Amino acid sequence: MAANNRAREKSFVFNFLDRNAVAVATIGDSIFYFGELGMQEVESAKLMTETLENEGFSVERGISGFPTGFCASYGSGDPVIALHTEYDANPNNSQVSGETEQKNITPYGPGHCEGHNCNAAVMVSGAIAAKCAIKKFGLKGTLKVFGAPGEEQLISRPYYVRDGWFDDVDVAIHDHIGGDMGTVYGLTHSAAVSAYFTFHGETAHASTAPWRARDALDGVVLMDMGMAQFREHMEPEMRAHRVIKDGGDQPNTIPARATVWWTFRAPTAEGARIVFEQGKKIAEGAALMSNTEVEIEVMSAVWPVRTNQGLAEVIQNNLELVGVPEWTVDEQAFARKLQEAANVHAEGLRTEIKPLLGPTEQRTPSNDCGDVSWKVPMGRVGFPSNVPNVPFHHWAGGAALATTIAHKGSVAGAKALAGAVVDLLSDPTLVQRAKKTFAEEIGEVIYKPLIPERQKPPVDLNREMMETFRQPMSAHYIQEKPRFN
């Protein structure tokens, strides 16, 4: 019913995006080849902000101390609708797009292996389409488009919320790639705290005078053993996983410094805090046993993600209005071949919208948009730019990301996003319903950021690795710029 009331506006934004399908694809493909790691998304952020600026958005760069973060606004007054998404890649996942076997673009280089490049294309082009509708039909309200760096390390959005960027926002929409076109509501992701544990000791010659040393690596190893014992007593949905960032330099010098990076997860913010507190105790015990000192640096801390029922209904209406892209025989064949190569159910591409069922099941991954989702009602547009069932953070997850599957999925996602924005700007009762269902959903819970009050963003994260690969990767950059008309 709501959708039919705005048939004129909807066909305008849908036509706009069909007409600009090349520009949508150019954004996604450009960011795919930039393949930038979290906190180092320099070229990706530049492309997105310049594109939005060319379309009349006013852009604030470097928000909350994030060099690759931004807020682009358009319009004025209420309601204030925030769109936000991520655009970072992962290490060691450089995959040639369109190939159904593992093949690097840049050997050992970073690359997109999930599809955050398409997330960016959908957000930017959906926002531009919505802006054109605001202008053409005189819609009232403000669009705020947030670029969120470092999602793979769960970093930026808790800072944005802590620093007040969402204080005047009425509703927010996140967009994320997948094998499905659909949306959900309820708790979807887990809370997480991740931190560096750096042990400090004293060096010694490992062969001539090992008794003189205080071995920092012993601290790391003992913490690992303590966490392994603790695992038995964690609740089933809790998780703890780690990598050793610094284990010393050479065997004949006992290391004076060693760092282990742990991520702790739980279904609730309080649960993640409890696992972290236990991790801290274990680290202190390990330091005591190894005669070292431990320094703990929080890297990220996020609430679980929840999506709102009122917004899910608005988004679902629009997804159904847009419909799943029409896949060609070749696209279906590519998808099945890739699924076979990845050893997953070879069903091809899906041809139907995922129905909106009751509250969804909460899963163990996290996303740093969790904090947004407890501050304001948040919805998610899921769009089909990747092949169903392929594992993310694996070469197969990157194989479709600059193909026509990605391009068509992104146009469909941008249409649904722009359509939802048009609905929310036109019908105040939809925003009211989102707020009412949100109040019921969060109940008595009082949101308070998990990140420490004075915490500053880790701006050097991934810098070295990105600098190593940027030059060989730049040979593959797309020269063409996205142009909308």
Question: Which residues, including other chains, have CB under 8 Å from residue 479's CB and lie 6 or more apart?
Answer: none
Return the amino acid letter for 376: V
- Contact letters (x/-) for Zn ion, 34-73, by CB under 5 A? ----------------------------------------
| Least distance to Zn ion, CB of residue 117, Å | 11
Return the amino acid letter for 293: E
Q: Indicate the SS3 state at residue 98.
A: coil
| Least distance to Zn ion, CB of residue 405, Å | 17
Nearer to Zn ion among residue 114 and residue 170 (C-beta): 114
- Contact letters (x/-) for Zn ion, 142-181, by CB under 5 A? ----------------------------------------
Q: Are strands 186-187 and 257-266 parallel, antiparallel or unpaired?
A: unpaired
Query: Based on C-alpha coordinates, what's the Rg of the chain?
Result: 23
Task: Pick the closest to residue 449 from 313, 288, 269, 318 (CA basis).
Answer: 269
Nearer to Zn ion among residue 150 and residue 325 (C-beta): 150
| Least distance to Zn ion, CB of residue 110, Å | 15
Sheet (strand 378-383) strand order: 58-61, 70-76, 141-147, 80-85, 171-177, 378-383
- As a dihedral over the C-alpha atoms of residue 49, residue 50, residue 52, residue 57, rounded to 10 degrees, the angle is 90
Nearer to Zn ion among residue 99 and residue 114 (C-beta): 114
Return the amino acid letter for 201: G
CA distance 483 to 479: 13
Number of residues this chain uses to bind Zn ion (CB under 5 A): 1
Question: Judged by CB under 5 A, which stretch of 106-114, 208-216, 268-276, 348-356 contacts Zn ion?
Answer: 106-114
| Least distance to Zn ion, CB of residue 122, Å | 13
CA distance 400 to 408: 11
Neighbours of 378 (CB within 10 A): 28
Return the amino acid letter for 403: T
**CA end-to-end span of the chain, whole Å?**
30
Question: Judged by CB under 5 A, which stretch of 22-30, 112-120, 329-337, 405-413 contacts Zn ion?
Answer: 112-120
Question: Judged by CB under 5 A, which stretch of 110-118, 187-195, 394-402, 452-460 contacts Zn ion?
Answer: 110-118
Nearer to Zn ion among residue 82 and residue 89 (C-beta): 89
Task: Pick the closest to residue 71 from 163, 134, 165 (CA basis).
Answer: 165
Neighbours of 291 (CB within 10 A): 13
In the bound complex, which residue of the shown chain has the CB atom lying closest to Zn ion? 114
Separation in Å, CA 410 to CA 18, 123, 302, 401, 441: 11, 9, 27, 10, 30
| Least distance to Zn ion, CB of residue 57, Å | 24
| Least distance to Zn ion, CB of residue 12, Å | 30
**Structure token pair of residue 165:** 């960027």
Question: Residues, the chain, total?
Answer: 485
- Torsions phi, psi of 73, nearest 5? -115, 155
| Least distance to Zn ion, CB of residue 270, Å | 24
Nearer to Zn ion among residue 179 and residue 219 (C-beta): 179
- Contact letters (x/-) for Zn ion, 114-133, by CB under 5 A? x-------------------
Q: Which of the residues 334 through 353 are near Zn ion (CB under 5 A)? A: none
| Least distance to Zn ion, CB of residue 172, Å | 16
Question: Judged by CB under 5 A, which stretch of 107-115, 124-132, 351-359, 370-378 contacts Zn ion?
Answer: 107-115
Question: Judged by CB under 5 A, which stretch of 108-116, 333-341, 346-354, 418-426 contacts Zn ion?
Answer: 108-116
Question: Judged by CB under 5 A, which stretch of 9-17, 36-44, 95-103, 113-121 contacts Zn ion?
Answer: 113-121
Question: Which residues, including other chains, have CB under 8 Å from residue 473's CB and lie 6 or more apart?
Answer: 33, 34, 35, 94, 105, 106, 109, 110
| Least distance to Zn ion, CB of residue 327, Å | 23
| Least distance to Zn ion, CB of residue 446, Å | 28
Return the amino acid letter for 106: T
DSSP string covering 66-89? -TT-EEEEEEESSPEEEEEE---B
CA distance 56 to 302: 33
Question: Judged by CB under 5 A, which stretch of 35-43, 111-119, 286-294, 337-345 contacts Zn ion?
Answer: 111-119
Return the amino acid letter for 288: L
| Least distance to Zn ion, CB of residue 94, Å | 17
Nearer to Zn ion among residue 36 and residue 114 (C-beta): 114
Question: Judged by CB under 5 A, which stretch of 75-83, 109-117, 276-284, 454-462 contacts Zn ion?
Answer: 109-117
| Least distance to Zn ion, CB of residue 93, Å | 13
CA distance 183 to 196: 35
Question: Which residues of this protein are in contact with Zn ion, per CB under 5 A?
Answer: 114
